A and B are shown apart, each in its own frame.
Chain A
Amino acid sequence: MSAVEIAAAVRSGERTAVDVVDEHLAAIAARDGDIHAFNLVTADEARAAALAIDRRVAAGEDPGPLAGVPVALKDNLCTAGIPTTCSSRILEGWRPPYDATVVERLAAAGAIAIGKTNLDEFAMGSSTENSAFGPTRNPHDLTRVPGGSSGGSAAAVAAGFAPLALGSDTGGSIRQPAALCGVVGMKPTYGAVSRYGLVAFASSLDQIGPFAASVADAAALYEAIAGHDPRDATSIPRPAARVSEGLGQGVGGLRVGIVSELLGAEGIEPDVAARAREAAEALESAGAKVDEVSVPSVVYGLSAYYLIAPAEASSNLARYDGVRFGLRVDAPTTGEMYDRTRTAGFGAEVKRRIMLGTYALSAGYYDAFYGKAQRVRTLILRDFQAAYERFDVLLSPASPSTAFKLGAKSADPLTMYLNDVCTIPSNLSGDPAISVPFGTGADGLPIGVQVLAPSLGEETLFRVAAALEAAAPAA
């Protein structure tokens, strides 16, 4: 049953929310021991919330557009009184004093938070292997990674543990795991969804977005979380775009550009490029005008990102010092306490990014690295703007490869970073993008095709995604 169908059944009294929640808790109990999508399953809270929804329906009230729908939350979204770890030892056991705005909005829409999902520590990674609490496994093949960093959320939807999940996407952390797990994952326009209560990684790039098994469900979740929030100073002061109504409108007359540089980017597997080309052909058959387009500066995206994101992270993660929250390792002086706490609390990848960012920002290197990366960001914005003068949306692979084996890319950080080559440009430009399942590789594993749209182009983005979904080969 889709999320939209569940909500309709609960609102009409045809099904109880308690029944829906129990069914999903049973699925989790049966398989999450193998998959490890969740850091924490909030079964008691979910049952209590479901009971409250059922009482409201019985009283003749409408609990909202997502009534009774279980939602899995990435464990870097603050939940009042419920542990929020970022899959890091440094926050183990910490209970936030407030809910993230998206968590409040989901509750207001009648959705039911069912648990906190695993991630690469502080969302730094592309495989969920960097979690301090052990990796998540891909539901399609337990020897493979689910992608990352929102691997737990992607796996939870793919395994049927929750019809919907939220993730965060700083360089592809929603779209890449969605592609590897065969589900839909979307990064909104920067500022379209409030970041209040999202534990910060790289503040000029981070966005919260939906995972779902279908485009219609992802659209419903997007509508529930988007829109202005005065508590986030980067929130765009306008209401959320209505994206569901237009899903069936088709792509007749739309201009679709397939990005040459991303089809031929470092490490793109032939199957992945082939599915992206077939997706373009499918849109052409559905009435779109398709052409190749060059967005020359996206080739610098990976390098620019791995200077900007670590620089912002090194600053954001300075707050983990053993004083106000989380872990403290005692020492005779405050300075030594900082050092011991951070050394014991952060994992290797987080330390690596903090080091890289501190270096890129340090005296003598700021202009050569961080300053230059910010100028490259302008080039990428300009190139996308030029492309959108000729095209309504762009198309590319979402991930260079299908799901890889656990351990296959963890020896060399740069090899892992290359997983983000197709997704990073839209974080740098702030534009929305979505990964839609489109066929499989020769290995039988899911492949995702990415649709990119201009800033605040969510309505068109979802419409094209729905057309791709309708044209996708049976999995």
Chain B
Amino acid sequence: MAKITRDEVAHVARLARLDLGDGEVDTFTEQLARVLDHAADVEALDVADVPPTAHPYPLANVLRPDEPRPCLDRQAALDGAPVVEAGQFRVPPVLGEAP
């Protein structure tokens, strides 16, 4: 596996919605490379015939009865939001200019 590059770090930052300065991109490139170097031991293992484990305890299809029941009050859900309008979360324009 080739070492992680500066361009890849900048790309990953975009995916993760983080604005990294040039200095941070350099630092993260070096630090992530160190961690990924350590992970070379895992990368080198031949485990193709081993099934993956996503979760340590075998539970599947945990469902509750399909019955209406009380839930969090709308106002309580909105109380922690930075900007609220008319009982909804308000955000800046998603597409183009504000009307």
A325-B81, A369-B43 in contact; A340/B19 too (CB < 8 A)?
yes
Query: What residue in chain A is nearest B29 (Cβ atoms)?
Result: A355
A residues apposed to B, CB below 8 Å:
94-98, 189-191, 204, 230, 233-234, 236-237, 299-300, 302-304, 306-307, 314, 318, 321-328, 330-340, 342-343, 346, 351-352, 354-356, 358-359, 362, 368-369, 371-379, 381, 412-414, 417, 428-431, 455
Residues of B within 8 A of A337 (CB): 91-92
Residues of B within 8 A of A336 (CB): 92
Residues of A within 8 A of B86 (CB): none
Assess the A355–B76 pair: CB atoms within 8 A: no
3 nearest A-B pairs in the assembled complex, by CB-CB distance: A430-B56, A374-B52, A328-B82
Query: What residue in chain B is nearest A343 (Cβ atoms)?
Result: B19
Q: B85 at the A/B interface (Cβ < 8 Å)?
A: no
Assess the A378–B51 pair: CB atoms within 8 A: yes
Assess the A413–B34 pair: CB atoms within 8 A: yes
B residues apposed to A, CB below 8 Å:
1, 4, 8-9, 12-13, 15-20, 24, 28, 31-32, 34-36, 38-43, 45, 47, 50-57, 59, 62, 64, 72-73, 76-77, 79-83, 89, 91-94, 98
Query: What residue in chain B is nearest A328 (Cβ atoms)?
Result: B82
Residues of A within 8 A of B51 (CB): 375, 378
Task: Say how far B18's CB is from chain A's closest CB, in angstroms.
Answer: 5
Residues of B within 8 A of A376 (CB): 42, 45, 47
- By DSSP majority rule, is chain B's interface helix, strand, loop, or mixed? loop
Assess the B56–A190 pair: CB atoms within 8 A: yes
Residues of B within 8 A of A333 (CB): 92-94
Given A324-B80, A375-B52; 11 other pairs, CB 8 A cutoff: A236-B57, A299-B41, A323-B81, A325-B80, A325-B81, A330-B92, A359-B12, A362-B12, A381-B53, A412-B31, A431-B56
Task: Say how far B73's CB is from chain A's closest CB, in angstroms.
Answer: 8
Assess the B35–A414 pair: CB atoms within 8 A: yes
Q: How far is the CA of A95 from the CA of B81 in the complex (A)?
A: 10
Query: What residue in chain B is nearest A232 (Cβ atoms)?
Result: B62
Query: What residue in chain B is nearest A417 (Cβ atoms)?
Result: B35
Residues of B within 8 A of A304 (CB): 42
Task: Say how far A121's CB is from chain B's closest CB, in angstroms.
Answer: 14
Residues of B within 8 A of A369 (CB): 36, 39, 42-43
Task: Say how far B85's CB is from chain A's closest CB, in angstroms.
Answer: 13
Assess the A233–B62 pair: CB atoms within 8 A: yes
Task: Say how far A171's CB is from chain B's closest CB, in angstroms.
Answer: 14
Task: Say how far A354's CB is from chain B's closest CB, in angstroms.
Answer: 5
Residues of A within 8 A of B77 (CB): 97, 324
Task: Say how far B69's CB is from chain A's closest CB, in angstroms.
Answer: 11
Query: What residue in chain A is nearest B42 (Cβ atoms)?
Result: A303
Residues of A within 8 A of B94 (CB): 333-335
A204-B54, A204-B55, A455-B57 in contact; A355/B43 too (CB < 8 A)?
no
Residues of A within 8 A of B17 (CB): 318, 321, 335, 338-339, 342
Assess the A358–B92 pair: CB atoms within 8 A: no
A334 touches which of B12, B28, B38, B93 (Cβ 8 Å): B93
Residues of B within 8 A of A306 (CB): 35, 38-39
Task: Say how far B27's CB is from chain A's closest CB, in angstroms.
Answer: 9
Assess the A328–B83 pair: CB atoms within 8 A: yes
Residues of A within 8 A of B80 (CB): 94-97, 324-326
Residues of B within 8 A of A378 (CB): 47, 50-53
Task: Say how far A384's CB is from chain B's closest CB, in angstroms.
Answer: 10
Q: How far is the CA of A413 from the CA of B30 in the complex (A)?
A: 11
